[in-house]
Amino acid sequence: MKGLKSVRVRNLRSFGNNNSFIPLKKLNILVGKNSCGKSTFLRAFPLLRQSVQADTRNPILWYGSFVDFGDNNTAINSSAKEVMFDFDLDVPVMEGADIIDRILGGFSDAGCDKENTFPVVLTLGIGRGVGADVHSRVKLVIEGVTVEVVYKESAVTKFALRYEDFVIEEFSGYAVASKGKLIPTDFSGSNSRKKNKNPYLGGDRVRSSFRESLADFILSLHHPNKKRETALTALNELAFKPKSQMGDSLIKLFPEDKIFNDSMQKARDEISGISFAYMVGAHLHKILESIDKVLSDFYSSVRYLGPVRASAERFYRYQDLQVAEVDHTGSNLPMVLNSLNARDRDKLNVWISDSFGFELKLANTGSHYALSIREQGSSEFHNVSDMGFGYSQLLPIIVSIWLENNAKNRFPFERGLSSKKQLVLAIEQPELHLHPQLQHMFGRAIAKIAKLQNESNFCFVLETHSKHIIDAIGECIEEDELSNEDVSVTLFEKNGDGYTETSLSSYDDNGYLIDWPAGFLSP
């Protein structure tokens, strides 16, 4: 996926503290016995969607419109004090200072139009408690630099910056100035260990403080007569680049200073690393804003379909609503179909017929809708309530898949943005009440859809017990209808202590499962 490469949950229900990251690919299959953590992991996707889309006091909305985890006290593993969500992602950050710093802080506009991508691991932790008593924690690791912020609502109780084993700064007393969608993105207040020398920056004292700390560090490597203002002026030209480029950037700022250059020759890596750490602090707001955007864009795009889907009714009450998304129970399916124009309904029917062997019709009787199905070989449509439970369970899934896959065609005014739109389809047990043949057809259909998508903006997350779906995906790989590199298979099991453990399997290029425990799906 675009930006987000892999995820991990820790201390959430049956998950312990030592779990592996699970990679995100086009097609992600979660398998394992009942009550071993598959559903908990999958439901973390709609959990984070409802969290980024709501204005909450704390980062996570445990009970919302998609899933209900109770509260943080019931969601956290009974033996733990904190639940953690971990994200491995690539984050774009502009090199130069932002416009406020340039106007009020006197910083250069160097690099303001250039962008670098940094690998980041972010941990969002939420402790026990209720309301204002909940401590939250954000920890990010970027090229050997660790930033950790512990906060309770808007009050920051700990702010720590480290480079490898060096503690660069550690203090408290700041406040959350901007809480973002999922994580805080900026802080205000004064570092009690330093006097802020730029009264104009106000809420931006955090970044100013780290700039001044960097100046103090660089001055310690110069001749004692070096003026502080001279160093600060030079460092205002320093752009935020990867650590590997920091040494060259510093030397360019002080090319004639023999003492400084001698210091760089003796301890270039250490000086570059510590300087990079201070620059992370100075640009932390931009890093956090970028992380928050990557995560909020990803989780806002989640479409979730749960295992308990609404039963078919003979008639549905007519509502003149424009509905673009099937809800997680599928209960609004008739309204979604009614929102399609005739051409799109025809396209949907062609796809359903080609992929699953039946046709779907929505009849409007004036005050009610009726859903009917015609199977291949039959000349008549029959009300879906007369066609068995399986169709009512399958229809919300396949219609949702088609809707999201064809969104750019249904909304042409969004075409300019369509290549950037992300889509995450999280589906629990699509095989429920389906005949094995339909399970097999479903597996082939999602494999074909996955092949057509851009890897950077699309993924299925599928929790299943169905050998038929798993085998169908393998067949598509064997027939070159899907690359094995686009599929992730995660096995969920409980260890002897009752904690969920995960391991990775995969398909080879012939469609055979590898690293697959013997009898894993057998009775």
Cα–Cα distance measured from residue 348 to residue 399, given in angstroms and rounded to the nearest whole number: 8
Tokens encoding 326: 């099937």
Burial of 178 (0-12, 13-18, 19+ CB in 10 A): middle
**Contact by Cβ (8 Å): 41, 85:** no
Other C-beta atoms lying within 10 Å of the C-beta of residue 113: 9
pLDDT in tens, 149-168: 999 989 999 999 999 989 99
DSSP 414: G
Residue spans of beta strands (DSSP E) within 2-95: 4-10, 22-23, 27-32, 82-94
DSSP 3-state of 407 = helix
The reported pLDDT for the residue numbered 455 is 66
The reported pLDDT for the residue numbered 263 is 94
Cα–Cα distance measured from residue 364 to residue 333, given in angstroms and rounded to the nearest whole number: 14
Mean pLDDT of the chain: 88
Cα–Cα distance measured from residue 447 to residue 484, given in angstroms and rounded to the nearest whole number: 10
The reported pLDDT for the residue numbered 107 is 53
The reported pLDDT for the residue numbered 193 is 47
Q: Which ranges of the chain have pLDDT less than 70?
A: 1, 97-112, 190-205, 310, 407-421, 455-456, 521, 523
- Overall residue count recorded for the chain in this entry: 523
Q: Which of 414, 420, 443, 411 is nearest to 430 (CA)?
A: 443
pLDDT in tens, 109-138: 554 578 999 999 999 999 998 877 899 999
**Contact by Cβ (8 Å): 479, 510:** no
DSSP 3-state of 83 = strand
Domain boundaries, the chain: 1-68+422-523, 81-297, 302-417
> Kind and range of the H or E element at 167?
strand 166-171
Q: Which residues contact 57 (CB under 8 A, 6 or more apart)?
A: 131, 132, 153
**Contact by Cβ (8 Å): 130, 137:** no
By DSSP bridging, strand 513-514 and strand 302-305 are unpaired
Please report, as a single letter, which amino acid is at residue 60: I
Domain 1-68+422-523 class? alpha beta
The reported pLDDT for the residue numbered 15 is 97
- Burial of 452-489, coded b for 16+ CB within 10 Å and e otherwise, reads ebeeebbbbbbbbebbbbbbbbbebbbeeebbbebbbb
By DSSP bridging, strand 27-32 and strand 487-494 are parallel
Q: Which residues contact 497 (CB under 8 A, 6 or more apart)?
A: 16
Q: Where are the alpha helices (DSSP H) in 190-339?
A: 205-219, 228-235, 243-253, 258-282, 284-300, 333-339
For the chain, what is the total number of helices (H) and then of strands (E)? 15, 21
> Kind and range of the H or E element at 355?
helix 342-356
Cα 516 to the chain's mean position, in Å? 27
Burial of 152 (0-12, 13-18, 19+ CB in 10 A): middle
The reported pLDDT for the residue numbered 456 is 67
The neighbouring-strand residues paired with 91 are 118
The pTM for the full model equals: 0.90
DSSP 236: T
